Amino acid sequence: MILSSLVSLKSNRAIVFGLLFLGLTGCSFKSVRQTHPTALPPAPVQSTPEAKAEAVEMRSAVAETSEHIQKTHPPTPAPQLQKPASLLDPPPPKLPAPPPHAKTRVAGSVPAEKSLGWLKNGNTRFVRGNFRKDGVSKADRLRLTSGQSPHAVVLACSDSRVPPEVIFDQKLGEIFVIRTAGDVIDPNVIRSLDMAVQDLGTNLVVILGSESCPTFKMDMATLEGTDGIAHDLLERSAILRDAVQSGEVKVERALYHLEAGTVEWK
């Protein structure tokens, strides 16, 4: 009897402890759910007339801005890639080269008449032996490093006894000398003459013959022979011909007498 009562008491106590445990577990689970509720999908937002009007206004503003950008900043066209030239493709046409005398001539500062007077006075000093002392200093050499502007061009025979710079008493950078030993006026002479007249602005051209010239016995040995040289130059040089026709350039003929040292002008 007593034993059965003890057993019953133990059973009731186990039941009580079990119920108490279940109660505590349920409370803990409810607390966890309240602290960390399960995320549910948000309810759909109800569209109002005011929201719809704002959306329409925003789309309109974006469209206007895009149209303005397209008008004021047109898209840059993509560069066209040039097709590589093929060996079989025909070569591009060549443009015609401008004539050599197309460049505008700028006349020098010394007129032809004044340049001719300087040469005549220089030959007088040469004959008298009264040479200039200027024109050959270091300062003159440095001054000419920036360029040259000779006041005359002299075409003469290649004869060591007839140096134009000496017989005309001219110094550094004052006359442009062309000398030839041939019996004809070759293209090099023409090009040199064109350079002096066109690029350097020389206004006086002197054809200087000499009684002692070994190769120009018919043309450069007499004053009459220098006329033929002058005619040949004017015929073959368009630059010289145009400059003479403009009145800026003059062609003078002269003959040097070796024994006297004088220059005879025509």
Bridge partners for 210 per DSSP:
256
Q: What is the 3-state secondary structure (H, E, C) of the chain?
A: CHHHHHHHHHHHHHHHHHHHHHHHHHHHHHHHHHHCCCCCCCCCCCCCHHHHHHHHHHHHHHHHHHHHHHHHCCCCCCCCCCCCCCCCCCCCCCCCCCCCCCCCCCCCCCCHHHHHHHHHHHHHHHHHCCCCCCCCCHHHHHHHHHCCCCCEEEEEECCCCCCHHHHCCCCCCCEEEEEECCCCCCHHHHHHHHHHHHHCCCCEEEEEEECCCCCCCCCCCCHHHHHHHHHHHHHHCHHHHHHHHCCCCEEEEEEECCCCCCEEEC
* pLDDT exceeds cutoff 50 at 191: yes
Burial tier of 64 (Cβ tally within 10 Å: 0-12, 13-18, 19+): exposed
Q: Per-residue pLDDT for 152 more than 90? A: yes
Structure confidence at residue 95 as a pLDDT band (50, 70, 90): low
Over residues 121-150, the pLDDT tens digits come to 999 999 999 999 999 999 999 999 999 999
- pLDDT of amino acid 225: 80
Residue 237 identity: S
> Is 12 a residue whose pLDDT tops 60?
no
The predicted model scores a pTM of 0.62
**Beta-carbon contacts of residue 218 (< 8 Å; ≥ 6 apart):** 225
Task: Give, rounded to a whole angstrom, the gap between the first and last alpha carbons of the chain.
Answer: 177
Q: What is the pLDDT of residue 185?
A: 84
Structural class in CATH, domain 112-265: alpha beta
Whole-number percent of the chain with pLDDT over 70: 61
Q: Where are the domains positioned within the chain?
A: 112-265
pLDDT for position 50: 72
Q: For residue 112, what pLDDT is reported?
A: 97
Question: Is 231 within 8 Å of 186 (Cβ atoms)?
Answer: no
CA angle 166, 263, 109 (to 5 degrees): 65
Over residues 66-88, the pLDDT tens digits come to 565 555 555 656 666 666 655 56
State the pLDDT at residue 200. Answer: 97
Residue 9 binned pLDDT confidence (cut-offs 50, 70, 90): very low
State the chain's mean pLDDT as an integer: 78
Ramachandran region of residue 155, left (φ > 0), alpha (ψ -120 to 50) or beta?
Answer: beta
Confidence label for 18 from pLDDT (cuts 50, 70 and 90): very low
